[in-house]
Amino acid sequence: MKKIVTILGARPQFVKAAVLSRVIQNYQEIEEVIVHTGQHFDANMSEVFFTEMDIPKPTYNLAINSLGHGAMTGQMLEKIEQILLDEQPDAVVIYGDTNSTIAGALAAKKLHIKVVHIEAGLRSFNMQMPEEINRILTDRISDLLCCPTDTAIKNLHNEGFDNLPITIEKNGDIMKDAVLYYGKTSAEKSSIIADLKLKENEFVLATIHRQENTDDKATLSSIFSALEKIHQEKEVVLPLHPRTKKMLEKFNLKPAITLITPIGYFDMLELLQHCNLVVTDSGGLQKEAFFNKKHCVIAREETEWVELVNNGFATIVGSDTQKIIQSFQDFQDTNADFSQNLYGNDVGENIYQSINHLIN
């Protein structure tokens, strides 16, 4: 039986990997060994997380976190290399753009093990982002690039990937499968709507966590000023990221919105399904908003998911108070065709077949 090692480091990666793991288990043709680097660890990555979400528990947990980029990536590289030497897989599968992603790719490539990059070809064109560096380098040393969109394919074409011995395929966005699968049962797993006494379509879901937004007082103040203004019309609910909480306290900012503690995936799905719209600087949440038929106000200067903006489902506003408020107001009067298929169907199955072809 063929074997793959899947390298994961952040909660969203586990959710996406669960989609592929279910397909692998259905076929019973490939053995999967899961490695959790420990890059992102919180209460939502406990035993309950894996049990409730029917996610395979990691074979290895490296517990590497709370370090600088160099130390974290270096330690991951060293430990992953030893695991690969012990396991001798036919391929290593990695997701997205974290330090775990690039560490897994480097360890595999130097041992001449095939590398599969899921969510390949994404670009923000902002080299100040650590994620941009990770995804560019990972794409370059991969053997199979599983791209979610035509834009991702175009990015690789523009960078000359057609001239490299790398297989490039458009498989769709695996997060879509995850949202559809878990969205069917989120109401059974979460009571957050009742707990917060929220009304259907009468609240805005917001998340702010990126360093460029949190670490500058003027920028953070500008974003939260907009959220406070929106809150006067529709309640703004914001799960507070630890970094954002720390900086709000440092700058002595006390925004008059509904701040809640970090939440699990089912709670997030429930908020997405019942909110009016989303304001976020998260990449993944932009798409999850679309999958739940919600408009999105992007508090960044760029997005990897340009098709959302090009088709009118999202706007890019940066940290500008007035732009955030205006976009919120504009979307109140906007009807969009969320039935557009921007991200494919049966994505887990498509990726499985691509991997199976690569290693057989």
CB distance 42 to 66 below 8 Å: no
Per residue, the 3-state secondary structure of 43-109, as one string, reads HHHCHHHHHHCCCCCCCEECCCCCCCHHHHHHHHHHHHHHHHHHHCCCEEEEECCCHHHHHHHHHHH
Pairing mode, if any, of strands 2-8 and 91-95? parallel
Non-local (6+) Cβ contacts of 212 within 8 A are 128, 219, 300
> Which of these is catalytic: 209, 231, 274, 357?
209
CB distance 196 to 275 below 8 Å: no
Backbone angles phi, psi at 152, to 5 degrees: -65, -40
Q: Distance (Å, rounded) from C-alpha 289 to C-alpha 280?
A: 10
Q: Which two tokens stand for residue 183?
A: 């969205």
Non-local (6+) Cβ contacts of 118 within 8 A are 16, 20, 93, 94, 95, 96, 146, 171, 174, 351
Q: Does 36 participate in catalysis according to the annotation?
A: no
DSSP state string for 145-203: EEESSHHHHHHHHHTTGGGSS-EEEE---HHHHHHHHHHTTHHHH--HHHHTT--TT-E
Q: Distance (Å, rounded) from C-alpha 317 to C-alpha 319?
A: 6
283-294: burial string, b at 16+ Cβ within 10 Å, e else: bbbbbbbbbbeb
Give catalytic residues, as residue numbers: 209
